[in-house]
Amino acid sequence: MEFSVNHPILFVIVGLVIAVVLAQSVYFLVRAVKRAKALGIASQTVKKTISSAAVFTIAPAVAILVGVVALSKSLGIALPWLRLSVIGSLSYETIAANNTLTAAGMQAGSTVTDPSVFVTVFWVMTVSIAAGLVLVPFVTKKIQGGMMKMGMKDKKWGEIFNNAMFLGMISAFLGYVFCDVAGVVKGQTAGLIPVCVMAVAAVVMAVLGLLSQKLKIRWLTDYALPLSLVAGMASAIPFTAWLA
């Protein structure tokens, strides 16, 4: 079969795999919704969880789509479509592709025309990120069981432990927001852009939270996070023009 990075057969294969991945999500969604009912969680709560998760996902998903476009220049559309629909990220896939293209003596960014180079990139992208894929089916029950046991032994500590994990993750990302501010002393103000964006998102979130409490507008809380996310992202445009 004559090879091209956008060969129809690639779309068929990728489409089938994505259908399977989608089926898994639907399966777990249906089971969890049923279980929520059995546990007596209000159907209103379930509906709100679904609608706000869907709204929240839009902006990050469009950002992922930007990644598909970026990678499609050298790899066609089908492979980036698959890779960014399953475990991995734009930065990981780009690094994996570039490492392989370099090893194959190709320039990053030029369209792959040799099928053997294409499958080589495919192999490296798949295998290098497979730790979670291979291990999660076998270790999750153990880890999760340990957490549940701890929560039962000392309920208060279980909760604090969980909050501490969340805060630990959030603090790492807050630290990252400030990673380039040291450049300001040398006159490089671009490092302030993420700080300003974060501040805008934080202020919008706080204001929406207060508004919904004071004015009793429930739906504001449901969409506060996506609204603050989009406000922060939009503010990046003027901040970048000003500070970069």
Partner 1 sequence: MKKSNMTYMESVHRDGKYWGIGVGILLLLLPLIVSLFFGAMPQWDALLGGLIATAPMYWAVGIVEIFTYVPMLGAGGTYLSFITGNISNLKLPCALDAMERAGVKATEEEGEVISTISIATSSIVTTFIIILGVILIVPLQPILEAPVLKPAFDMILPALFGGLAVVFISKNAKLSVAPILLMLALFIFVPALNQSTVGIMVPVGVVFTVVVARILYKKGVL
Least Å from the CB of residue 230 to partner 1: 8
Per rule CB under 8 A, count of chain residues that contact partner 1: 158
Residue list 4-63, contact with partner 1 (CB under 8 A): 7, 9-10, 13, 17-18, 20-22, 24-29, 31-33, 35-36, 38-39, 41, 45-46, 48-50, 52-54, 56-63
Distance CA 172, CA 186 (A): 25
Among 43, 108, 217, 234, binds partner 1 (CB under 8 A): 234
* Residue 241 burial class via C-beta count within 10 angstroms: exposed 0-12, middle 13-18, buried 19 and up: exposed
Q: Is 89 in the site for partner 1 (CB under 8 A)?
A: yes
Among 188, 189, 209, 211, binds partner 1 (CB under 8 A): 209
Instruction: Identify which of residues 215 and 243 has a Cβ nearer to partner 1 in the complex.
Output: 243
User: Running DSSP on this structure, what letter comes out for residue 169?
Assistant: H
Instruction: Identify which of residues 74 and 121 has a Cβ nearer to partner 1 in the complex.
Output: 121
Q: N- to C-terminal Cα distance for the chain? A: 48
Alpha helices in 76-154 (DSSP H): 78-85, 90-103, 115-128, 131-153
Least Å from the CB of residue 153 to partner 1: 11
Q: Is 188 in the site for partner 1 (CB under 8 A)?
A: no
Q: Is 217 in the site for partner 1 (CB under 8 A)?
A: no
Buried b / exposed e along 143-166 (16+ C-beta atoms within 10 A): eeeeeeeeeeeeeeebeeeeeeee
Least Å from the CB of residue 218 to partner 1: 10
Distance CA 114, CA 72 (A): 15
Q: Is 233 in the site for partner 1 (CB under 8 A)?
A: yes
Residue list 96-155, contact with partner 1 (CB under 8 A): 96, 99-100, 102-105, 114-124, 126-141, 143-144, 147-148, 150-151, 155
Residue list 161-180, contact with partner 1 (CB under 8 A): 161-180
Instruction: Identify which of residues 110 and 140 has a Cβ nearer to partner 1 in the complex.
Output: 140
Distance CA 95, CA 115 (A): 20
225, 56 contact by CB (below 8 A): yes
28, 202 contact by CB (below 8 A): no
